[in-house]
Structure 1
Amino acid sequence: MVTFADGTTRLGPDELAHRLRAEIERLRDEATRQRKLAHRRAEFWAKLDIALGFSAALLAGTAGAAGLASADVRVPAALAAPASAGFAAGAGFLRSDTRRRANKRARHAWASVEARAVVTLTREHVAHEDLGDLLECRQAALASYDGEEPRPEAP
């Protein structure tokens, strides 16, 4: 740090480079954590989607078959039908397929931040622009949870 006669201080070139590298390393570590978290969330929502959807289909099929089989099993079939509807409604309410896709998009966006940070850290000299680019990439990763998937262009 350099102190001037008027009392102001400025970072020296080595200290500035060290702080830039430290911030880029912090961004890389954050991106690694967020990528892993998004991966685990995507897996969770995929499993939940399968569990709810399969249960709803299985109960609906069983209720329909049991209800048509004989008069004795119509009461259990009548009980299985609302359970099936409940699983289907739960799957629709939770929108687990949408959440899974959002976390997959986020995982890819965080992987991009991580990769850019790693490449930046391999350079001998790091500039302010490098940190600015990484921060913009980080903002895009944060926004990827809410964003929509790109739609195909109409011909």
Structure 2
Amino acid sequence: MVNSTDGVTHLSPGGLRHRLRDEIGRMRDEATRQRKLAHRRAEFWAKADIALGFPAALLAGTAGAAGLASADVRVPAALAALASAGFAAGAGFLHCDTRRRANKRARHAWASVEARAMLALAQEHVPYENLDDLLERRQAALASYDGEDPQPGSS
């Protein structure tokens, strides 16, 4: 650090490089944490989708078969149909599959940030452009939770 006569503190080139490497290291650590979190969330939403969708399908089939089998089992068939509708409504309300896809997109985006940061830190001299690139990728990773699935043919 160098203090000038006007009271403004200026960093030496070595100090700037050190702070740049520190910031890239912090971004790498954040990306690692966020990638792992997005992976766990994607797994959770996949399991929630199965936990709600499978019983809904099973109960719907059972209710249909029971309702057609005999007049005596109409009430149990109606209860099974109501339970099936409840599971299906829960799955629709939670949008488990959409959330799973969003977290998978986020996982890939955070992995990209993590990989770029690791590449930048592996270099002896880190250009300042690397930080700009990492910040853009970080913003893209944050936006990937809300983004739509990429359309075929788009990058």
Query: Aligned residue for 2:67?
Result: 67
TM-score norm. by structure 2 comes to 0.95
CA shift, 1:16, in A, is 1.0
Over the matched positions of the two proteins, sequence identity in percent amounts to 80
SS at match of 1:36: helix
Unaligned runs of 5+ in 1: none
CA shift, 1:8, in A, is 2.0
CA shift, 1:72, in A, is 2.2
Query: Aligned residue for 1:120?
Result: 120
CA distance in 2, matches of 1:99, 1:148: 11
Query: Aligned residue for 1:2?
Result: 2
> RMSD between aligned alpha carbons?
1.0
TM-score norm. by structure 1 comes to 0.95
Query: Aligned residue for 2:133?
Result: 133
CA distance in 2, matches of 1:11, 1:93: 54
Which structure 1 residue ranges, 4+ long, deviate > 4 Å from structure 2? none
CA distance in 2, matches of 1:6, 1:74: 89
**Amino acid across the alignment from 2:3:** T
**Amino acid across the alignment from 1:8:** V
Unaligned runs of 5+ in 2: none
CA distance in 2, matches of 1:66, 1:48: 27
CA distance in 2, matches of 1:89, 1:65: 21
Q: Aligned ranges for residues 3-152 of structure 1 at < 5 Å?
A: 3-152=3-152
